[in-house]
Amino acid sequence: MMTATAARFSETAPSPRENAGSMAGEDVAMIKLAATLGRELGAYKPAIYWIDTLASATLGWGALAALILVPGLSLAATAALAVVAVLALYRLGSFIHEITHMKDDSVPGYRLGWNIVAGIPLMIPSFMYEGVHNLHHARNRYGTVRDPEYMALALKPKISVPLFVVVAALGPIGLFIRWGLLAPLSLLKPVRDFVRARFSALSINPDFRRDPPAGPAASRWNVMEVATSAFVIAVLAAVATGIIPLRAFGIWLAVLSASMVINQIRTLAAHLWENDGKVMSITGQYLDSVNVPPPALLPELWAPVGLRYHALHHLLPSVPYHALPAAHRRLVAELPRDSSYHGGNHPTLAGVIARLWASAGTARAATGTN
């Protein structure tokens, strides 16, 4: 089976007489080795997905329940439970990224299971990312105005950087509006078309408009939308009638908000955000993306489920998260020192964000990435 990297490479590979010109700027050795590794490491291991997901759900929801239900917690115990709840639920929610890349039979039943324990209670059903994130990986969309997940933050005013994070803190409120108000109003077709185009994607590009779903995806969308809306309306009704205390509701919101802020900070370090809208080469897309590989340990917390290898993921989008560490080790060991692969590796989150901050407001166009 051809991997996503191999497919992208073959789609853009020129005929022999075109080779000299159109392959300029591509690190062919890196791309070919990545494609080979994709074939070798592309098998999904369902047991890992289920164990990791259920462990994250147990830790996250358990810690949240303890925060809400256990009386007389000390300050230290409260802080510890809050950290566990935020990080575990953040990890649990991050599996939505894996769902967008896996086929239905890769991990049987996983989409349904994840939506039950995470997608619906976190108010991010998987259809919000499925059919959207794959556009970010499209060869001729990445970094352009048609990319739902790209914003050239390095070329925008500096105020854009903190605002990008602050807006995430309000994420739970936006999701309550989406599911508690806009979803019921979507029974009216004009409203439904508007909501599906504008408010049915986990994207950061404000100009992105989503196409309506079709085929089996449309049926899944409808089921998940009804289920999530029913859940949110039930929660709001329970809060309004006093069944759920305001304190419990506030704790839940605070945990969700904190996890969204962490994800937004992680997103700041997912790319360099330096492309000015031009179509980029595969190598250019890789170099505009970021790995924060070992020996650093903290990325396992702020960039879980393989997200610390985000640049590598852009080379190998179909490879499951549990195989990315092995792929990274092979690429580092087998590619020469002057390979572009090493240019995508960064030592720390702080260093990547510092580079973004230094670039923002300078109107500096991307260099060396096209």
pLDDT at residue 139 in the model: 87
Tell which residue, 12, 44, 13, 273, has the closest CA to residue 138: 12
Q: pLDDT value at position 213?
A: 87
CA dist., res. 64 & res. 233, Å (int): 20
| Residue 361 confidence (pLDDT) | 84
Question: Which residues, 6 or more positions from 58, have their beta carbon under 8 angstroms from its beta carbon?
Answer: none
d(CA 206, CA 338): 37
pLDDT at 75: 97
CA distances from 273 to 66, 169, 196, 284, 291 (A): 40, 21, 27, 12, 14
118: nearest Cα among 86, 95, 87: 95
Residue 6: closest CA among 319, 356, 340, 366: 319
The separation between CA 282 and the C-alpha centre of its own chain, rounded to angstroms, equals 19
The predicted structure's pLDDT at residue 24: 56
Cα 55 to Cα 60, 82, 325, distances in angstroms: 8, 17, 21
Neighbouring-strand partners of residue 345:
291
Q: Tell me the mean pLDDT per 10 residues along the chain, length 370.
A: 43 33 74 96 97 98 97 96 98 98 95 98 97 93 95 95 96 97 94 95 95 89 97 98 97 98 97 94 95 95 98 96 98 96 96 95 51
**Dihedral pair phi/psi, residue 128, rounded to 5°:** -70, -20
Q: Hey, how many other C-beta atoms are within 10 angstroms of the C-beta on 288?
A: 25
Residue 199: CB partners within 8 Å, gap ≥ 6? 178, 182
Question: Comparing C-alpha atoms, which of 76, 78, 53 is closest to residue 67?
Answer: 78
Q: What is the DSSP string of 88-155?
A: HHHHHHHHHHHHHHS-TTTSTTHHHHHIIIIITTTT--GGGTTTTHHHHT-TTTTTSTT-TT---GGG
pLDDT of residue 23: 54
- 146 residue type, one letter: R
C-alpha to C-alpha distance for 276 and 273, rounded to whole angstroms: 9
Which phi and psi angles does 345 have, rounded to 5°?
Answer: -95, 125
pLDDT for the residue numbered 215? 87
DSSP string spanning 246-298?
HHHHHHHHHHHHHHHHHHHHHHHTTB-----S----HHHHHHTB-B--TT-ST
Q: What is the value of pTM for the model shown?
A: 0.91
Query: For the chain, which residues make up each domain, given as ranges?
Result: 4-41+271-359, 46-268
